[in-house]
Amino acid sequence: MSSKFTPDNELDLFFSADLIPNQVKAQLHPDVHLRPLASTDYNRGHLAILSVLTVVTDPGESSWVAQFRSMRAAPQTYYPIVIVSKQTDQIVGVGCVFIERKFVRALGRVGHIEDIAVGKSQQGKKLGLRIIQALTGISENNGCYKTILDCSDENIRACSLIIFMKGGL
């Protein structure tokens, strides 16, 4: 486990960090950092945080990196983000929005927010809310006419605590 925080300019990011709304970043505690998923995040505990949400099978680093590259090869489709502890350089929260292209609504787009997970030690600090706000901003900036928060039955209560009734119903 590394204890040196790695700045964005030293990482191979999934997409430009400029696409994450600054107003969301400004609301975070100064000991964490919000950014796109990086090609080296397998070693920062990406899968461990996802396992808070669901069953995760570890494919190994090389397969994880291959999946990262495969998803990134579909431009303007996937936007995975992470929150990293500046103290440990480990991931403490994750989420993703993917953009669905439609034939309806003048060839419109819909954002689907999925895979929101926050490490158990970091829950209760509004990190999940900040992840959802960031992903909603990315969706809106991609011209989506609505954004859908996909949530499991077990997480409906937590999701409903986040007022998310914009568009869509």
- The reply to whether 155 falls in a domain is yes
Where residue 22 sits, what CATH number does that domain have? 3.40.630.30
Residue 136 lies in domain: 8-161
Residues 35 and 20: beta-carbon distance below 8 Å: yes
- The reply to whether 169 falls in a domain is no
Q: Spell out the per-residue pLDDT of the chain, length 169, in tens.
A: 446 999 999 999 999 999 999 999 999 999 999 999 999 999 999 999 999 989 999 999 999 999 999 999 999 999 999 999 999 999 999 999 999 999 999 999 999 999 999 999 998 899 999 999 999 999 999 999 999 987 666 655 555 545 444 444 3
- The reply to whether 3 falls in a domain is no
- The reply to whether 147 falls in a domain is yes
Q: What is the pLDDT of residues 31-52, one digit of tens each?
A: 999 999 999 999 999 999 999 9
Backbone φ and ψ for 84, nearest 5 degrees, come out as: -115, 140
Domain total of the chain: 1
Closest of 30, 27, 64 to residue 45, by C-alpha: 64
pTM of the full structure:
0.89
Closest of 76, 4, 95 to residue 44, by C-alpha: 4
